[in-house]
Structure 1
């Protein structure tokens, strides 16, 4: 009631901004973790924190994902099929088709938005990978975590990043790591530090307010990098090889009740080499790669344990719903031999050289590596299933899931075999938390959920199945599950040379063969019944067609060439000219494309005195990248490709006002030249390699006047700031014209 004066007025009654006693929610999403790689799922890898979570909760053995990261995350956040919400594939290659835009449509409200509307404090930590390629530098921000319901964010937007010097974002700002790797920095520890700090801050100010923490680890996705003491604890543990490891793991899984007593190993495919046929040098290499992976996973587990301990110390553990999942099966992107630099397999068709891999044995897991294990270990990591990430066989889509809520779920340490899917997770969380799914959010009508609640099976292991059908499509690999039967195509993913040339199957959608498995009885998809039950196969393929239409799955694609050709990136404005000043930092996606040739001109005022030191420009790291720097009157432009350095060096006379470096692609290589206004042509070099089109999987930043925490070469220590006389650099892409000092100087002066 409002009257003339405040003392005579009374406001409308209000309700509390949040429901007191509402459970907190934590969702842990691990990356590329296989079904058999946790101790509580039969592994001999040390994961005591996650095993402890399983002992306090419920393990699911029949949980399914989409076979690749971004689509699974879309399901986990929205409760809707990934194609329906525009995330049918990675947003790195968005296309203007409904299922592949890389953007959630109106009406696809997230779990964060729903819980936020209920007064929850919401924060996202770690990997995101749900932003279209062209929107990761300066927005638009509507697909960043803060645009889809999270109050705060700290992590990385891309699908992968370096553990020692990651490309980090705080809320909507790109930031550098708090310290360099030489001072003990590692991303997984940093993510845990941030999560603990944010939870502690909330607890200090409003200890009753419920929170939703979305925590997506970088591990164990490549690059496999961990502190050496965590890797060395596994020395010698995998020397017997992947075949023996599979057998031992299956035995442990049976003993735990994770798999049926009559389960058998899927046949090792012909393209995975028997360990007995691997020569001693490669055995040593492959075993070490697995040691690195194991140390990486254990280090990650330790950090998750720190977060859970912090929640416990705040007195909030019993009333916190914790869900832990993997986003897909173990990854085989290391190929048959693994890789010291796994990015090479994704961005090029350069074949593996075992001698080169062996030469980097001591680098594996460390600062100068971007490693991945061989696909024999991926097959083992998905024991007892067929195949791996990017394929819709069970090895790609069947993953660990643990649910814990001490105050709300009984029978700790128990196991459920009910069929569940990633879309079911947010629906179940809302059900457990007592929150009704809204019909509208922010005035926008909401799309129906595809997920169903599995709260019933959580409470009662004897409860009936809540999900009886599920379609799958990942990078052209298709499958359909219904009532204990599954049909899956033999289509081969075309992303890497190893897939295309080594894996048997179809590369033509019109010629794909469908296999049929009675998975209720054939746990590991070992017996194809397509010839015996053509009626059942026809039923399932017709059902897939119907689901594909309902979820707008078409058109299909199985590689990157067609997607790149139709990539829709309206927020990128390609330029051929950049004027950059000291302190600038430009994202690779929006920066100069140097691989087709370039001229860079660095200007100095006052002129160079002859003793200057510091970085002029830098992009990338010691695996792949380039840097231009001064050191005591000598200029160096260094290119690093797959760890090999190529240098152009020249003395710079005192009194020099500008230096140019030209790069020209020639016969598969690169010709480079230094020029100065004082000496003309100062040095030339021809290299057998060109500049890569992609320097880093997460988009290498070009920095001007300083270096990032992990330098491109050992000649300088970051930040290695440029001398104060350095005023900026002009970058022009394309084949450089003949050098004309007066023309270059005039061009530079226009920007002073």
Structure 2
């Protein structure tokens, strides 16, 4: 799975510029699901993909601001397969929680090599990456099995090297390998070789000038971004070729299911075959992604299936393909599409709900409800005014140009009733309550709280020093703890560093010789807390980049 690579960023989907020969060949030998949907943004997609459940049920409701932590109670595909004798591994992007008990290792992955937060160099990633704004994709600091490491080279190269190594080591046992590239997500950093491939791309073909298409209005900035994205896409394509070649060399090709997909639509404006909207949108351009599935003698080559399918179907489909029963206590929102993909069963009637907005889920801000080939869209809609919604027949109008609300109001009301019903059901999900990082346990002796999980209404300043807010934690055991607030630069002498944990507040003055202030030996009792950390200095109130909380040894 790639990150922010849109439906049109491949040769096999008609892009006249990007070079993706390995993925194109994979598409030719795969069954292609041409009506497959993810969530509008990345963390929600990842939660649904791994659990078969609408992301809101899992506790994931945003990409940051405390909304990208999947409940530890959720059972993932990796956990199920691990309990059935599979070796499980993830390389790349996790984005479902960086602290215990939410890490890949806590959710069924026996091996992990991942970056922090939602992206390399973003707030929430390792400090060493964040401060290198122009080079974080190179020589990146990562977490390998929950230990910080630095790997030399370009991040996509590093993740592929590890994926290949995993295949070599696990070939004697059944395995599940989740290769989750953070590219071509911003920042758009790439090796010079791939940047040079597209540096002279002029965007002057008939496709680029196609009347009525959004990409015909690309600005110079859009074109500059597209050149880099295409270079990153070709780099990924080379790596997909490496992984497929390794499978073949190891004799695993005929007994391995291979899936390729992207996590949501493209972030920047460029060719996307004509779908409306971009990443973050409930329009097709935000959620419809390519999905290729092949291998193990189960899937026909060079076949297209246009049945409505989604990320919530992947877990039950793969379990059926592997002949592993879904655990009886797990409730999925998706269903197995195996027989439909294989052509042994006609697509059954179905509904599908999709939504995302900043903060907590809202009913009509950015949502869609599908019933077979009809789709109701609510973008800043008024629940009391049906005419503020839009209704489309995707079989006849996949690009969502002809609103049918006024010509088919009865159908629109039916679909709105379905949207209201699923929204009400999801809103009562117990995992939507805030997730708490468990501090002071043997599983994570030192907990690093980052801006990725910082809550509050000041997150418009996410990248800036002014970002302040709170974290939800649970102290595992009574004891002395040390608190270390970390800034992105040297903290001026005399600046007061404050930490508040529940009703316990402590502070210390910076000495002016470093980027962190430590407050030692704070006695904390076991329990649930809200934590705040901030600096009071010459520039006013600012927030830390990290707050470290760890057990002190014998009160020292």
Scaled by the length of structure 2, what TM-score is found? 0.74
Counterparts of 1:535 and 1:105, CA distance in 2: 42
Aligned to 2:75: 109
Measured at CA, do residues 487 and 64 of structure 1 come closer, stay the same or move farther in structure 2, by a change above 3 Å? same
1:252-651 matches, within 5 Å, as 268=214, 274-275=217-218, 283=220, 285-331=221-267, 375-377=268-270, 380=271, 382-410=272-300, 412-439=301-328, 446-460=329-343, 463-466=345-348, 468-475=350-357, 476-491=365-380, 513-552=388-427, 562=457, 569-570=472-473, 600-601=510-511
Do structure 1's residue 225 and structure 2's residue 163 form an aligned pair? no
Deviations 1:348-386 (A, max 9, x none): xxxxxxxxxxxxxxxxxxxxxxxxxxx432xx3x32111
Measured after TM superposition, the shift of residue 694 of structure 1 is 7.8
Pick aligned residue for 1:144 from 90, 97, 103: 103
**Structure 1 spans left out of the alignment, 5+ residues:** 1-28, 95-99, 180-184, 248-264, 332-374, 440-445, 492-505, 581-585, 604-615, 620-661, 667-689, 702-751
Aligned to 1:643: none
Deviations 1:560-592 (A, max 9, x none): 96486996522699xxx9898xxxxx8779x98
Counterparts of 1:408 and 1:392, CA distance in 2: 32
Measured at CA, do residues 58 and 35 of structure 1 come closer, stay the same or move farther in structure 2, by a change above 3 Å? same
Contact 1:120 1:212 in 2 (8 A): yes
Deviations 1:74-119 (A, max 9, x none): 11101111111211322x222xxxxx5833263x311111111110
Secondary structure of 1:438's aligned partner: coil
Deviations 1:111-169 (A, max 9, x none): 111111110011111100001xxxx3xx32x2111111111100113111031243410
Scaled by the length of structure 1, what TM-score is found? 0.56
Deviations 1:693-721 (A, max 9, x none): 587xxx799xxxxxxxxxxxxxxxxxxxx
Contact 1:330 1:396 in 2 (8 A): yes
Counterparts of 1:694 and 1:164, CA distance in 2: 25
Counterparts of 1:561 and 1:541, CA distance in 2: 31
Measured at CA, do residues 587 and 171 of structure 1 come closer, stay the same or move farther in structure 2, by a change above 3 Å? farther
Aligned to 1:193: 161
Secondary structure of 1:423's aligned partner: helix
Measured at CA, do residues 224 and 386 of structure 1 come closer, stay the same or move farther in structure 2, by a change above 3 Å? same
Aligned to 1:36: 8
Secondary structure of 1:83's aligned partner: helix
Measured at CA, do residues 266 and 525 of structure 1 come closer, stay the same or move farther in structure 2, by a change above 3 Å? farther
Measured at CA, do residues 110 and 415 of structure 1 come closer, stay the same or move farther in structure 2, by a change above 3 Å? same
Measured at CA, do residues 325 and 592 of structure 1 come closer, stay the same or move farther in structure 2, by a change above 3 Å? farther
1:667-686 matches, within 5 Å, as none
Contact 1:578 1:592 in 2 (8 A): no
Aligned to 1:122: 88
Deviations 1:575-633 (A, max 9, x none): xx9898xxxxx8779x9899987764267xxxxxxxxxxxx6599xxxxxxxxxxxxxx
Measured after TM superposition, the shift of residue 447 of structure 1 is 2.8
Measured after TM superposition, the shift of residue 480 of structure 1 is 0.8
Counterparts of 1:488 and 1:579, CA distance in 2: 47
Measured at CA, do residues 291 and 466 of structure 1 come closer, stay the same or move farther in structure 2, by a change above 3 Å? same
Secondary structure of 2:40's aligned partner: coil
Contact 1:267 1:526 in 2 (8 A): no
Counterparts of 1:289 and 1:467, CA distance in 2: 40
Contact 1:387 1:396 in 2 (8 A): yes
Give me the CA root mean square deviation: 3.7
Contact 1:122 1:149 in 2 (8 A): yes
Highest Rg: 1 or 2? Answer: 1
Measured after TM superposition, the shift of residue 239 of structure 1 is 3.4
Contact 1:154 1:171 in 2 (8 A): yes
Deviations 1:30-75 (A, max 9, x none): 1111111111221231112211221221111100011111111111
Do structure 1's residue 212 and structure 2's residue 105 form an aligned pair? no
Aligned residues: 461
Contact 1:597 1:665 in 2 (8 A): no
Aligned to 2:53: 80
Q: 1 or 2 for the larger relative contact order (CA 8 Å, sep ≥6)? A: 2
Contact 1:479 1:486 in 2 (8 A): yes
Counterparts of 1:579 and 1:296, CA distance in 2: 40
Counterparts of 1:531 and 1:178, CA distance in 2: 57
